[in-house]
Structure 1
Amino acid sequence: MNTAKTITIGSNSKNPITVNRLGYGTMRLTGEGIYGEPANRPEALQILKQAVASDVNFLDTADYYGEDVTNRLISEALYPYPDDLVICTKVGCTRKPDKSWIPYNTPENLRTSIENNLRTLKIEQVTLVHFRAMHGHMNFEESMEAMFKMQEEGKILHVGVSNVSVENVETALKMGNIATVENMYGHAQRTSMKNNFGDTYGGGEVLALCEQNKIPLIPYFSLVHAIGKKDNRIAEIAQKYNVSETEVNIAWLLHKSPWILPIPGTSSLAHFSENIKAKNLSLTKEDMEFLE
């Protein structure tokens, strides 16, 4: 099976952007509990530089990673940025000193977050921003209105959504152009999930909707559920090609749909080098059927 090497963000907009189809998620570059400075700051900076050197031109970040740690690392390692580099950030929540996650999604909150991202990343416009839904603690339509307002002002080029249900995506599409969706998805987590408030998000249903509307799905935690959850099918394919199980998990995403943009993250340069090899792993139709 041949997999597309690139993917287009905002394909239905006036400003489509094509990126290479293996990005990097920066969340793991923070300290323990996704909070504070990295344990090995030089290695964190080197990973970002190596990502760009490896033709990764899509980075996923958020100002609540750290807090502000990943944004500052990105700017320190890569500013001034390559012309083709797309930095995607998220807004909608923040952190407390006890490392808990709390909503930060009123129109005023979202504007503050965008201004903070612009400042820490040293940019005048954020290329892509996901509104990260925190179900049970938000007015989804009100928050999306604020996002589209800032897009009109030129602070945001493309608007996306994260941690959303099919219904959320459909609502957002009626309000404006949705460039991307970032949801939990991976070989070990393909079904929808319900949170404590009864809201359903994630899963193959959202992927199907994305495919119908030519919207990239950016899966987060694609490896978290796979690591430590032994899958003999993944192990068998890894043994067949003499590669790691991590590579097979990432390659499965690349082969699953041309509208998936994986962003595997790591704080280890060695693991990053392993992950990047996945884009060169070709799985057959029979492999994919076996893995299904």
Structure 2
Amino acid sequence: MPSTITIAQNSAHPLTVNRLGYGTMRLTGPEIWGEPANRPEALQILRTAVESGVNFIDTADYYGEDVTNRLIREALYPYRNDLVICTKVGATRRPDKSWVPFNTPENLRTSIENNLRTLGQEQVQLVHLRLMGHDAVPLDEQLGAMFEMQREGKILHVGLSNVTREELEAGLKLGPIATVENMFSYAQRTTLSHAHGHNPGGEEVLELCEQHNIPLIPFFSLLHALPKQLDKIAEVARKYNVTPAQINLAWLLHHSPWILPIPGTSSLAHFRENMGTKDIQLSAEDMANLE
């Protein structure tokens, strides 16, 4: 099981990071809105993450709003040379806490400028364009704006988030796609439809990602299992004396060398538990049992 993964490995500026990363979304208040309940602990988690070898941190200016970006800057600036901060654009939040598209070329430029300002950077190393599933703005216009800002030097690498296989195929025809960020866990591998739209699953794009050496970054990767699946994962967890959530993360790491999990938490103890996943070596028998 590889301990690192390389983003944009065929480009002039590849980024090699450790598997696991850290997703900051849970550092905000309830419903991904407002300040954290325990601000000192949130800052300590970020510092502990970097001290523990995490050098890939996922954020977005619409977490909070702008809460996670400000926490990252307060905790970690000036940034270590090997730290990759990945953000997302394409959405925004309304005062009622709803999530809505913000993806015209002008919107995307506004978001990039805001991320650069709040993170204190001159260039964002990796930006995911999140597709909302009901976009009125054509994909080529959205990606065209992203690639334009890449040529200007505001963005180093462009990725896609919340994409179907067909959308990823279309994106690859428009320009270099460095990474994909989709919902993916042991129990949730295909599209999840709900009242607010849909979230394409990681399994739907994994083969295409592997063919093009594109890291797949799962979000919501912590355990959401159905009863029968939970029985299987609990059995393996007992074997290693760890939690089912840890086995879920270990399964992702073993499922493909092109998967870069970014489990998030607002608890320092839970963060340390997640980091322990790297020491779990699942056997071929374990993986067959889980499958």
Deviation at 1:196, TM superposition (A): 6.8
Deviation at 1:246, TM superposition (A): 1.2
Tell me the equivalent position of 2:282: 283
The DSSP-based 3-state class of the residue aligned with 1:161 is: strand
1:129-165 deviation digits (Å, cap 9, x = unpaired): 0000012223211101000000000000000000000
Structure 1 residues 227 and 233, CA, compared in 2 at 3 Å: closer, same or farther? Answer: closer
Tell me the equivalent position of 1:274: 273
Tell me the equivalent position of 2:234: 235
Tell me the equivalent position of 1:86: 84
CA distance in structure 2 between the aligned counterparts of 1:26 and 1:50, rounded to whole angstroms: 13
- What one-letter code is carried by the residue in structure 1 that aligns with 2:117? R
Q: Does 1:163 align with 2:166?
A: no
* Structural mapping, 1:151-230, within 5 Å: 151-194=150-193, 201-223=200-222, 225-226=224-225
CA distance in structure 1 between the aligned counterparts of 2:231 and 2:139, rounded to whole angstroms: 40
Tell me if the contact between 2:190 and 2:200 (Cα under 8 Å) persists in the aligned partners.
no
Deviation at 1:281, TM superposition (A): 0.5
- What one-letter code is carried by the residue in structure 2 that aligns with 1:205? E
Tell me the equivalent position of 1:245: 244
Deviation at 1:81, TM superposition (A): 0.5
Query: 35, 53, 56: which one pairs with 1:55?
Result: 53
Deviation at 1:229, TM superposition (A): 8.8
Structure 1 residues 197 and 112, CA, compared in 2 at 3 Å: closer, same or farther? Answer: same
CA distance in structure 2 between the aligned counterparts of 1:115 and 1:174, rounded to whole angstroms: 26
Tell me if the contact between 2:183 and 2:201 (Cα under 8 Å) persists in the aligned partners.
yes
* Structural mapping, 1:6-25, within 5 Å: 6-25=4-23
Deviation at 1:279, TM superposition (A): 0.7
Deviates more, 1:120-129 or 1:218-227: 218-227
CA distance in structure 1 between the aligned counterparts of 2:153 and 2:285, rounded to whole angstroms: 47
Q: Does 1:70 align with 2:68?
A: yes
The DSSP-based 3-state class of the residue aligned with 1:33 is: helix
Tell me if the contact between 1:193 and 1:203 (Cα under 8 Å) persists in the aligned partners.
no
Deviates more, 1:204-213 or 1:66-75: 204-213
Tell me if the contact between 1:62 and 1:89 (Cα under 8 Å) persists in the aligned partners.
yes
Deviation at 1:201, TM superposition (A): 2.4
Deviation at 1:200, TM superposition (A): 7.5
Deviation at 1:192, TM superposition (A): 3.1
Tell me if the contact between 2:187 and 2:229 (Cα under 8 Å) persists in the aligned partners.
no
Tell me the equivalent position of 1:263: 262
Tell me if the contact between 1:135 and 1:197 (Cα under 8 Å) persists in the aligned partners.
no
Deviation at 1:245, TM superposition (A): 1.1
* Structure 1 vs Structure 2 CA RMSD: 1.7
Deviation at 1:94, TM superposition (A): 0.3
1:219-238 deviation digits (Å, cap 9, x = unpaired): 00011524999701110011
Give the fraction of aligned pairs with identical amino acids, expressed as a percent: 68
Deviation at 1:197, TM superposition (A): 9.6
Tell me the equivalent position of 1:32: 30
Deviation at 1:11, TM superposition (A): 1.4
Tell me the equivalent position of 2:140: 141
The DSSP-based 3-state class of the residue aligned with 1:223 is: coil
What TM-score do the two structures reach when normalised by structure 1?
0.96
Task: Extract unaligned runs of 5+ from structure 1.
Answer: none
Structure 1 residues 237 and 37, CA, compared in 2 at 3 Å: closer, same or farther? Answer: same
Structure 1 runs of 4+ with >4 Å offset: 194-200, 227-230
Structure 1 residues 83 and 135, CA, compared in 2 at 3 Å: closer, same or farther? Answer: same
CA distance in structure 1 between the aligned counterparts of 2:48 and 2:227, rounded to whole angstroms: 27
